[in-house]
């Protein structure tokens, strides 16, 4: 009897051990870290959480309290201490997280960046909008709307912002193929709506022939829509082709009202989904040579306003 | 007692002749900045036909009107020897609170009143920190600037607030009286009212006296702390009015609205002849100063000057204009 009992106990313990270790091998925990709490990242969270559920992995959404580089460093340290298997992060300060990402990779945690990169951190890959490519899409959309000829102007945000300058590079590259289109002005607005409105007004007065405006930063769309709604510029509505970035409420309204022809909308939900998918593949070892992914932009216009996906 | 104290104050001022000198200096300064404004206008219109049109001049006036309105409050603070760094935050937060009230469905008058109350609170906070606790104005208003800015990000999470508003409200920022935009009309009215207050009333004289020599003013019966509290409340309240007008103009309360505008406003007052050391300055000078900056930034776009050079050119033109002003004053002072 006793022997039997002991044997049974041993078998049960062994079974529990085997079962436990099997479960532990399967249990994957990943964390996704945004820059800060804004609606853009809510979309990322939705996309990531849904994908994590599909793949059956544990998922954590860790929001930094502020945009300081040190805060994200601390978050990664905490995640390393909790032995997560993978981290996807949108970086606030590319330089400050380089060291800690290298450390995490060294102890076997898979790290990738999304939306905002830290190129020298040794992260496995970057998933997000490649701004130059988005600019090319924007330039081509404008060229098509103008039939390949006319004077255009660029309204950007902060003159030093690298993501905006990459978009402008893309626009210029696309327009090279259309010698009939001439960029007559590039104006900064410091991302201030009031400044953007007065700059746009002056642009339209100073260039009566203007046929198109690129709103490179997120204030461009709302600003041009406000200006075209004014009595003075009523004649330009529909005639002036306008392309903008980011689907803020006022920009969407500009499309509805017929002031804006197209918006370049980034794809945060796709970013979240791909971040989780690629992290899990790397942890399982099915993805060994990850490459950067451009999630691209959706061109939103009056036709797909109600139906576009991010 | 009050009357005799007032008389002592007056005789004191007359004795040191602050007021008379001030008034002379003020007039000369205003004329100089006005001349700079006209010369700059002539230069710009020599190169582009699009500057000297009614549409453009009205558009430019509307664009600089908010800075100019805020500079009216700022110049009063500066004349007392203080500084108000929180004007941009008061402006932005006032616009945001007005937007939130519309969003919550309150009536137009309540929404506007709520926005103006934001200004009152900023002003009281600044004024009390400076007069009761004795903080330097730079620190007190830097603190409230930061708090206001923080509130804006906490409330908006970085996304503009764009509620539905009645058409009658958008008149405030977008409407016209004849060919003149409503914000410009408001600016003109405020300029006249506050110029008269500064030159014709006891309160105005007390503001100059407080900044000219606070100790002497206090000894002569001027309640300098009360004067200071009043100018900070006025400055913030005027800024909040600018914020409500800005919201009415754009119908969108931006999270970064008013960000950095304190520098434009201080610059307008200084270009208009106000001395940051206090005691010197005028409302009309500040308004013309704001007009000069607005004119330059408009001209730069009309003339198609390279965008990367714009800030440097704006700075250079301002330095030249103010240097000429100072040099001319020195020459005139030598002659008198």
**Band of pLDDT at residue B135, cut at 50, 70 and 90:** very high
The total number of residues shown for chain A amounts to 310
A22 pLDDT exceeds 50?
Answer: no
* Angstrom distance (rounded) from CA B189 to CA B92: 22
Tokens 């100072």 identify what position? B326
Residue A76 pLDDT:
95
- Closest Cβ–Cβ partner in A186, A222, A232 for B307: A186
Decide which of 3.40.50.2300, 3.40.190.10, 3.30.465.10, 3.30.390.30 is the CATH code for A131-265: 3.40.50.2300
**Are B304 and A206 in contact, with CB atoms under 8 Å apart?**
yes
Higher-scoring residue by pLDDT: A181, A16: A181
Residue B22 pLDDT:
53
- Closest Cβ–Cβ partner in A186, A201, A208 for B59: A201
Interface test with chain A among B158, B307, B308, by most A beta carbons within 10 Å: B307
Q: Is the pTM of this model over 0.80?
A: no
Q: A138-179, pLDDT tens digit by residue?
A: 999 999 999 999 999 999 988 877 889 999 999 999 999 999
From start to end of chain A, where are the E strands?
Answer: 29-33, 58-61, 86-89, 110-114, 126-128, 150-155, 181-187, 210-215, 241-245, 262-265, 293-294, 298-300
A270 pLDDT exceeds 90?
Answer: yes
**Band of pLDDT at residue B323, cut at 50, 70 and 90:** confident
Q: Does B333 touch chain A (CB under 8 A)?
A: no
Residue B333 pLDDT:
61
Average pLDDT over residues B240-246: 97
Count other C-beta atoms under 10 Å from residue B31's C-beta.
15
Residue A309 pLDDT:
81
Q: First and final CA of chain B: distance in angstroms?
A: 39
C-alpha A135 chain-centroid distance: 14
CATH number of A2-128+269-294: 3.40.50.2300
The pLDDT > 70 percentage for chain B reads: 90
CB contacts of A39 in chain B (<8 Å) are: 157, 159
* Angstrom distance (rounded) from CA B37 to CA B33: 6
Residue B336 pLDDT:
33
Write out the two tokens for B254.
Answer: 């931006």
Q: A205-253, pLDDT tens digit by residue?
A: 999 999 999 999 988 999 999 999 988 898 888 899 999 998 888 999 9
Q: For chain B, what are the domain ranges?
A: 2-331
Residue A13 pLDDT:
55
Q: Note the CATH architecture for domain B2-331.
A: Orthogonal Bundle (1.10)
Q: How many A×B Cβ pairs under 8 Å?
A: 82
Residue B315 pLDDT:
86
Rg (CA), chain A: 25
The pLDDT > 90 percentage for chain B reads: 68
Closest of B315, B286, B320 to residue B29, by C-alpha: B286
Residue B314 pLDDT:
81
Q: B74-128, pLDDT tens digit by residue?
A: 999 999 999 999 999 999 999 999 999 999 999 999 999 999 999 999 999 999 9
Q: For chain A, what are the domain ranges?
A: 2-128+269-294, 131-265
Chain A nearest C-alpha distance from B304 (Å): 7
CA dihedral of residues B110, B115, B117, B119 (deg, nearest 10): -160
- Residues near B145 by beta carbon (within 8 Å), at least 6 away in sequence: B85, B86, B88, B89, B262
- Pick the residue from chain A with its C-alpha nearest to B303: A206
Higher-scoring residue by pLDDT: A158, A53: A53
* Angstrom distance (rounded) from CA A150 to CA A179: 10
Q: Does B106 touch chain A (CB under 8 A)?
A: no
Residue B2 pLDDT:
46
């Amino acid at each position: 009897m006793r022997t039997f009992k002991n044997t049974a106990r041993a078998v049960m313990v062994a079974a529990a051990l085997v079962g436990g270790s099997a479960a532990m091998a399967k249990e994957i925990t990943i964390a996704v870290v945004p820059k800060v709490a804004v609606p853009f990242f809510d979309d990322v969270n939705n996309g990531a959480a849904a994908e994590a559920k599909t793949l059956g992995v544990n998922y954590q959404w860790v929001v930094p309290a502020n945009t300081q580089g040190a805060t994200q460093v601390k978050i990664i340290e905490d995640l390393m201490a909790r032995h997560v298997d993978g981290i996807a992060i949108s970086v606030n300060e590319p330089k400050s997280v380089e060291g800690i990402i290298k450390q995490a990779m060294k102890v076997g945690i898979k790290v990738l960046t999304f939306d905002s990169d830290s190129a020298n951190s040794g992260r496995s890959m970057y998933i997000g909008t490649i701004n130059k490519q988005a600019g090319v899409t924007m330039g081509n959309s404008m060229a098509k709307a103008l039939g390949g000829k006319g004077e255009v102007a660029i309204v950007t945000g902060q003159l030093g912002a690298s993501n905006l300058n990459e978009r402008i590079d893309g626009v210029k590259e696309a327009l090279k193929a259309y010698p009939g289109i001439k960029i007559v002005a590039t104006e900064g607005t410091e991302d201030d709506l009031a400044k953007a409105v007065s700059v746009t007004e002056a642009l339209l007065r100073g260039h009566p022939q203007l046929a198109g405006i690129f709103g490179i930063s997120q204030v461009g769309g709302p600003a041009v829509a406000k200006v075209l709604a004014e009595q003075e510029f009523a004649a330009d509505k529909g005639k002036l082709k306008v392309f903008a970035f980011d689907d803020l409420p006022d920009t969407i309204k500009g499309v509805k009202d017929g002031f804006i022809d197209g918006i370049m909308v980034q794809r945060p939900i796709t970013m979240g989904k791909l971040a989780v998918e690629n992290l899990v593949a790397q942890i399982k070892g099915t993805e060994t040579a990850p490459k950067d992914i451009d999630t691209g932009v959706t061109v939103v216009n009056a036709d797909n306003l109600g139906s576009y996906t991010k | 007692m009050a009357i005799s104290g007032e008389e002592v104050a007056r005789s004191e001022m007359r004795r040191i002749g602050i007021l008379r000198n001030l008034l002379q200096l003020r007039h000369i300064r205003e004329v100089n900045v006005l001349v700079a404004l006209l010369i700059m206008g002539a230069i710009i219109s020599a190169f582009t036909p699009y500057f000297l049109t009614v549409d453009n001049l009205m558009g430019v006036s509307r664009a600089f009107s908010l800075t100019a309105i805020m500079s009216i409050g700022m110049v009063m603070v500066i004349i007392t020897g203080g500084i108000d760094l929180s004007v941009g935050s008061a402006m932005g937060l006032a616009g945001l609170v007005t937007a939130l009230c519309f969003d919550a469905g309150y009536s137009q008058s309540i929404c506007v009143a709520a926005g103006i109350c934001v200004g009152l609170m900023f002003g009281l906070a600044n004024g009390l920190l400076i007069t009761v606790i004795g903080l330097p104005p730079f620190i007190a208003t830097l603190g409230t600037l930061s708090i206001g800015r923080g509130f804006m990000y906490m409330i908006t999470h970085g996304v503009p607030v764009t509620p539905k508003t009645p058409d009658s409200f958008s008149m405030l920022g977008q409407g016209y009286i004849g060919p003149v935009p409503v914000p410009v009309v408001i600016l003109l009215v405020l300029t006249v009212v506050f110029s008269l207050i500064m030159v014709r009333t006891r309160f105005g004289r007390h503001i100059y006296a407080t900044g000219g020599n606070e100790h002497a003013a206090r000894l002569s019966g001027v309640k300098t702390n009360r004067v200071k509290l009043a100018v900070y409340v006025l400055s913030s309240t005027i800024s909040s009015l600018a914020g409500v007008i800005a919201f009415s103009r754009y119908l969108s309360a931006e999270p970064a609205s008013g960000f950095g505008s304190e520098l434009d406003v201080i610059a307008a007052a200084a270009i208009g002849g106000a001395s940051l050391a206090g005691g010197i300055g005028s409302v009309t000078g500040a308004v013309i100063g704001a007009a000069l900056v607005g004119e330059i930034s408009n001209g730069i776009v009309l003339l198609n000057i390279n965008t990367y050079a714009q800030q440097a050119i704006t700075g250079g033109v301002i330095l030249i204009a103010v240097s000429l002003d100072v040099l001319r004053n020195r020459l005139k002072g030598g002659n008198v």
